[in-house]
Amino acid sequence: MASFEDREKAHEAKWAHDRELGFKVQARRNKLFGLWAAEHLGLEGAAADAYAREVVRSDFAEPGEEDVFKKVSADLNAKGLKLSEHRVRKEMTRLLDVAREQVISEK
């Protein structure tokens, strides 16, 4: 019976680890995405970092990543930048891969 309990604990530990890793990857992607958008918005240095933090915080508005997309798209549009929805979403996807590689390599 102990081996079953050990497997169950190992499974729970893996699930918790995977959830934590996923959260870190999403947060990193959002930061990178914020920095990408900041560059398009003409922000540099501390202003770009502050904007990236705003993008990370925007992910807590609603479940999923749509809140992040809406924030960045609205900010880009407000600045008069006409990047297509496809282009912005493609960048989000690309940066998710970059973030995953970065987080995993930090372990």
pLDDT over 70 (residue 11): no
The confidence score (pLDDT) of residue 26 equals 94
**Hey, what domains does the chain have and what are their CATH numbers?**
2-105 (1.10.790.20)
Whole-angstrom Cα distance, residue 77 to residue 56? 19
The confidence score (pLDDT) of residue 64 equals 85
Query: Is residue 88 helix, strand or coil?
Result: helix
pTM of the model: 0.84
Q: How many CB atoms lie within 10 A of CB 59?
A: 20
Q: What is the pLDDT of residues 13-44, one digit of tens each?
A: 677 766 888 889 999 999 999 999 999 999 99
Asked if residue 52 lies in contact with residue 38, where contact means CB atoms within 8 angstroms, the answer is: yes
